[in-house]
Structure 1
Amino acid sequence: MSHAQDNSSGSSIARAFVDARRAGRALAAYPASEPVSLDAAYAIQDEAIALWPDRIAGWKLGRINAPHDTRYGAGRLAGPIFSRAVWTAGTVPTRFGVIDGGFAAVEAEYVLELGESAPDRGDWTAAEAGSLVARVFTGVEIAGSPFAGINDHGPAVTASDFGNNAGLILGGEIAGWRDRLAGLTCTMSIDDAVIGRGGAASIPGGPLDSLAFLLNLLHRRGRRLEAGQLVSTGAATGVHDIVAGQRAVADFGEDGRIEGLAVPATGDTP
């Protein structure tokens, strides 16, 4: 099987996902032939980014588990986070839309904010990448796609639809993060039942390794990370499915809590 993706097919996939997301409408099946490589998937993602009427505020990372990591040559995948889908957590639950018949999940995350635009290079290490970070926040990634099977067909399918991202709830700033990051822990609850426990150590190589991976990936894609952009570094307690009407709480201990409420999507959400 060829690892190339037909350009017209890639364009039609990008258009189908963007149209479905903008309408808040589920897709019963993948729109065309599935991409068989991450390069093909990111080409589709880039076409969808160009179609989406918003600017990129940051990026999410997701883990690629064995044996897919060996087959696809990467341990992570990335997707864009758009500015209108970044919400600041408050005293009441943050409402976020989920597409009926699609996929939706919540993930407790550690979110890095870049203090400067990244120099254009492709050989970043975690230690070097850390020098670009100005602040670190708690966060909850809203994973979501119009296609309910987005995670069931391998990482290339996942990457092709914005990396299965539908938004980010940004929590409080983590004080003293450079000394504390490796030891941070958190839990995730849905409807008052704890369904996940973990922390920064649950992310392979840690959050700064996620950042280094992203910097190198974007370099290969002809993109860059810019000052002020956010990087949601990966699920710290797992990926937890959620449906409209359910309430999620990510508890980061002394660094605060983030509450979210899933509601039916009304369209124009990533």
Structure 2
Amino acid sequence: MAHAHDSSSVSPIARAFVEARKRGRALPDYPGNEPTSLAAAYAIQDDAVALWPDLIAGWKLGRVPPPWDVRFGAGRLAGPIFEHQVQTTTEAVFPVIDGGFAAVEAEYVLVLGEDAPNRAGWTSATVADLVSDVRIGMEIAGSPFPGINDHGPAVTASDFGNNQGLILGPSVPDWRGRLERLTCRMEIDGAEAGRGGAMSVPGGPLDSLAFLLNLLHARGRVLEAGQLISTGAATGVHRIFAGQDCRADFGPDGSLSARAVAWGADG
């Protein structure tokens, strides 16, 4: 859904983040006054989406931990995933900004089978029929601002929800019957960094989709057939640096490997 913007009213914070991301340059400090509500953060995010030269392929969800969840009135936050940052390979390479933030997360990715009706009141029970497929995935979290996760959810949400891409793996067979039992683990440079599963995501992956649909409805956006929903970190958020390798192992459902490289080194 396109949003018209008068360029003079575009958030300078959004402009600073977009320029830093385009150039692969770190922002040592937050580029302006930190937003104090999620509504203000999503307004900055919307401005940045309008400035970013790519289409939205889907959305990532991240957990808002205590005590932030009570203070900000939400247990999750969302950010866009852009088409050119989705990789469908089991041996991926991704750039990290020197001096910024980068992390990898094992995720279960829902594929929307139809355009979602534009309404509120979604629950994990009512969203299930919208999902046509579940894929294994790895979210590449990243931001030019190294403190992206240290200042609360509004700061995180304001910079694309700390998303830098998605590695999309194969489908999970018979996911409807197996979702609550799916497990995975993450390795960095061969050492286990975390383990978990689909139910490590609070309420489960379908609850993430319900949250997203309600949020997008409130923001005047829609979710369309074919879009991807990266439902949240199943093993934790694992920092990664240029030169490191990572592997998300989903057991019988496959694994995804990736290497972090210095920004600009991947061509």
Same fold by TM-score, threshold 0.5 exceeded? Answer: yes
Moved more, 234-243 or 258-267: 258-267
Tell me, yes or no, if structure 1 residue 164 matches structure 2 residue 170.
no
Match of residue 178 from structure 1? 176
> Could you tell me how far 1:258 is from its partner in structure 2?
0.2
Between the aligned partners of 1:211 and 1:202, the Cα distance in structure 2 is: 15
In structure 1, what residue type is equivalent to 2:231? T
2: CA distance between counterparts of 1:83 and 1:41?
Answer: 22
Large movers: runs of 4+ above 6 Å: 7-10
Q: Deviations over 1:47-77 (max 9, x none)?
A: 0000000000000000000110000000000
Report the Cα distance in structure 2 between the residues aligned to 1:136 and 1:127, rounded to whole angstroms. Answer: 16
The alpha-carbon deviation at position 264 of structure 1 amounts to 1.0
Q: CA deviation at 1:8?
A: 7.3
* Residue of structure 1 aligned with 2:237, choices 239, 246, 254: 239
After TM superposition, the structure 1 = structure 2 runs for residues 217-228 of structure 1, keeping only pairs within 5 Å, are 217-228=215-226
User: Would the aligned equivalents of 1:23 and 1:266 in 2 still touch at CA under 8 Å?
Assistant: no
Residues 60 and 233 in structure 1, CA contact (< 8 A), matched pair in contact too: yes
- For 2:187 and 2:33, how far apart are their aligned partners in 1? 37
Alignment of 1:85 onto 2:75: no
Aligned partner of residue 172 in structure 1, secondary structure: strand
SS of residue in 1 equivalent to 2:119:
coil
| TM-score under structure 2 length normalisation | 0.95
Match of 1:216 in 2: 214
The answer for the alignment partner of 2:16 in structure 1 is 16
Question: How many equivalent residue pairs?
Answer: 261
Separation in 2, partners of 1:142, 1:44: 21
SS at match of 1:36: coil
In the TM superposition, what whole-angstrom CA distance separates every residue of 1:112-166 from its partner, at most 9, and x where no partner exists? Answer: 0000000010100101111100000000000000000000000000000000000
Determine helix, strand or coil for the equivalent of 1:58.
strand
Aligned residue for 2:197? Answer: 199
Measured in 1, the distance between the counterparts of 2:8 and 2:14 equals 10
How many angstroms apart in 2 are the aligned matches of 1:35 and 1:72? 11
Shift of residue 37, structure 1, vs aligned partner: 0.1
Instruction: Pick the aligned partner of 1:187 from 185, 188, 196.
Output: 185
- Give, in whole Å, the separation in 2 of the partners of 1:8 and 1:139: 38
In structure 2, do the counterparts of structure 1 residues 148 and 24 end up closer, same or farther at CA, with 3 Å as the change threshold? same
CA positional deviation for 1:205: 0.2
Structure 1 stretches lacking a partner, 5+ long = 1-6
Contact 1:106 1:141 in 2 (8 A): yes
Stretches of structure 2 lacking an aligned partner (at least 5 in a row) = 1-6
How do 1:115-134 and structure 2 match up within 5 A?
A: 115-134=113-132
Return the alpha-carbon distance in structure 1 between the equivalents of residues 17 and 73 of structure 2: 25
User: 1:4 is matched with which residue?
Assistant: none
Say if 1:218 and 1:39 are closer, same or farther in 2 by CA, change over 3 A: same
Asked whether the 8 Å contact 1:9–1:32 carries over to 2, the reply is no
One-letter amino acid of the counterpart of residue 81, structure 1? I
1:28 counterpart = 2:28: yes
* 3-state secondary structure, aligned to 1:26: coil
Structure-2 residue corresponding to 1:54: 54
TM-score by length of 1: 0.94
Tell me the distance in 2 between the aligned counterparts of 1:128 and 1:182: 17
Looking at structure 1, the residues matched to 58 and 177 of structure 2 have their Cα atoms a distance apart, in angstroms, of: 24
Give the distance between the partners of 1:263 and 1:256, measured in 2 at CA.
Answer: 23
- Distance change (3 Å), C-alpha of 1:220 and 1:27: same
* Counterparts of 1:256 and 1:34, CA distance in 2: 40
Q: Which residue of 1 is the match for residue 3 of structure 2? A: none
Shift of 1:89: 1.9
SS at match of 2:129: helix
List per-residue Cα deviations over 1:201-226 (Å, max 9, x = no partner).
10000000000000000000000100
Give the drift of 1:266: 2.3
CA distance in 2, matches of 1:37, 1:44: 11
Q: Give the whole-Å Cα distance in 2 for the aligned partners of 1:131 and 1:47.
A: 32
- Mapped contact 1:99–1:265 kept (Cα < 8 A): yes
Alpha-carbon offset, residue 35 of structure 1: 0.1
Per the alignment, in what secondary structure is the counterpart of residue 138 of structure 2?
strand
Aligned to 2:4: none
Deviation, structure 1 residue 32: 0.4
